[in-house]
Amino acid sequence: MTRPAPLGFGLGLRPIYYEEIISTHPPVDWFEIISENYMTGGGRPTAMLERVRADYPIVMHGVAMSLASTDPLDVDYLRELKALAERVEPAWVSDHLAWTGVHGISLHDLLPIPYTRESLDHVAERVMRAQDFLGRRLVVENASTYVTFRESEMSEWDFLAELTRRADCQLLLDVNNVVVSGFNHGFDANVFIDAIPVERVVQFHMAGHTDNGTHRIDTHDQPVCEDVFALYERAWRRFGPVSTMIERDDNFPPFDELLSELARLREIAARADAEGKRSEAA
Amino acid sequence: MTLAELQARFQAGVLAGHEDGASILESVKNSRRADRTTLFGVYVNAYRLRFVEFLVADYPALRALLGEEAFQALADAYIDAEPSRKRNARWYTSRLPDFMRGDEAWRGNARAIDLALFERALTDSFDAADAESLRLDALAAFAPDDWPSLVFGFHPSLILLELSAGTTATHTAAVEGAELPEPSAGAEHVAVWRADLDSVYRALEPDEFLALSLALDGHAFGDICQMAAFRDESEASPERIAQLLTGWFEEGLVASAGVRGEKGE
């Protein structure tokens, strides 16, 4: 399978940074948008996106496809998403291995599933139908989760690997989510990374989280922590150059701080690449 | 347990607003560090916090008017009564004013309801669909005989409101953190729309509110003059309506014009 060319090091496009991005043209390789924020009509969100899009590649990341829900797929939502993708021409479109609600209700959260054969059949079929509708391959992200279900029959990483094979989809590997879920469920994050098929991963997410002692919560309101940087280095070594971005959704710092975090990711990647070349030469 | 049953139980536990006793806990394991009630509680707590945040973001002035405790009580009542049925979280808060009008605890508080209506209009106007504004000189294309039959299309962000007097002053004071004005009797009329990518508003005189409401409903220019004159003889001359129309064009409110009944109207 051919992976799309890496876009480099990006950031989430958030309204608080619109003016700065447009006026200073910061050294960011690409931006990721939250799709739903631009599925509203028009006005400032659409206008700002058009301006940013003129200068940077864009990736669309959704939170509402509810791929794992047992409700019917929301065709109206998919139609709107497809229309947005036709306007934005993103490098790819992603959403989560999660559900947001059932019985016509949305909890507006990324909810966990049991990793069962039934879930796998269900989600794979829905990913395929969504891909058919959108006319493009979907990129599916591992979500942060806080509960482990007794019903699970396999690990999250085996579920994801098999999902990509069955649905022929790609993966957005959220490195922070692996750390958060690993802590919450007591698995080794390295095992997760090492089990994911290399050829399926097209994007990394990086973010900060909150450590509550007994469990960690994926809050996106903190700088990226050392555990996540360390796992990122392992991921980069395994998956090679993969488009990487930082999600920051609250407690917004000055934009320069995000650029500094991005610079650190570039350094980690460059170091891993250089060491890889040295070991190849040896 | 099937996936559908598990999801139904999980959702019911979150919507119930407390993790204790949720039947989904039978399916949840304790972790090495935390018990299953705590872990499922992450979803329960996040649900309410997130939905309150949606309301806080869209109704800051209402929050200032009511105070923290009453606003939280309103948010709790709304969240309990109206789970989201929208795919996009953007629309969750839209029904708050309607909920207040129908709820026994809030329906008598016209000041709060009208402030909520005004804030909803500002939010809706902000990201309403785009449209090119029509320039006033486009009217030169129409023959004088066509004028009585002219109908107008308006910018999708335009919203007209009839509110308790003092609503916009209360909003201004609230967003500026100033002392809120005392409630006043009577009504005020307001147009809300989007200009330069931000929501803006302007007070309307009663005759302009009437004329713009009629125009927005698709009535032709001649009908508007007649109906306005019928309801308010003193001010609603054709000259006054024409003057108002000019203002609407200058403010970018008009998006299309055509002769009633003709193709492309």
A42 to B92: CB separation less than 8 angstroms, yes or no: no
User: B47 contacts in A (CB within 8 Å)?
Assistant: 107, 109
Q: Quick check: is B141 in a domain?
A: yes
Quick: pLDDT tens for A112-130: 999 999 999 999 999 999 9
Q: Quick check: is B230 in a domain?
A: yes
H or E element that contains B175: helix B167-176
How many structural domains are present in chain B?
1
Q: How far is B265 from chain A, CA to nearest CA, in Å?
A: 23
Facing B33 at nearest CB: one of A119, A147, A215: A215
Q: Quick check: is B130 in a domain?
A: yes
Q: Quick check: is B81 in a domain?
A: yes
H or E element that contains B59: none
Residues 54-83 of B with CB under 8 A from A: 83
- Residue B201: how many CB atoms within 10 A of its CB? 18
Q: Quick check: is B166 in a domain?
A: yes
Q: Quick check: is B135 in a domain?
A: yes
Whether the complex's predicted ipTM is more than 0.95 is answered with yes
Facing A107 at nearest CB: one of B11, B36, B90: B11
Walk along chain A (282 residues) and give the pLDDT tens digit of each residue. Answer: 688 999 999 999 999 999 999 999 999 999 999 999 999 899 999 999 999 999 999 999 999 999 999 999 999 999 999 999 999 999 999 999 999 999 999 999 999 999 999 999 999 999 999 999 999 999 999 999 999 999 999 999 999 999 999 999 999 999 999 999 999 999 999 999 999 999 999 999 999 999 999 999 999 999 999 999 999 999 999 999 999 999 999 999 999 999 999 999 999 999 999 998 888 887
Quick: pLDDT tens for A94-104: 999 999 999 99
How much is the pLDDT for A95?
98
Domains of chain A: 9-281 (3.20.20.150)
How much is the pLDDT for B264?
47
How much is the pLDDT for B265?
47
Interface test with A, best of B2, B3, B198 (most A CBs within 10 A): B3
Residues 210-229 of B with CB under 8 A from A: none
Q: How far is A112 from chain B, CA to nearest CA, in Å?
A: 9
* Spatial contact of A55 and A13, defined as CB atoms under 8 Å apart: no
How much is the pLDDT for B234?
58
Cα three-residue angle A253-A240-A63, rounded to 5 degrees:
50
Q: Quick check: is B104 in a domain?
A: yes
Question: Looking at the complex, does the CB of residue A204 fall below 8 Å from at least one CB of chain B?
Answer: no
Q: Quick check: is B42 in a domain?
A: no
User: A66 contacts in B (CB within 8 Å)?
Assistant: 87
How much is the pLDDT for B239?
84
The parent domain of residue B217 ranges over 59-259
Residues in chain A: 282
Q: How far is A65 from chain B, CA to nearest CA, in Å?
A: 8
User: What is the mean pLDDT, run by run of 10 residues, along chain B of 265 residues?
Assistant: 97 91 94 95 96 98 97 97 95 98 97 98 98 95 93 98 97 95 94 97 94 96 84 69 93 96 59
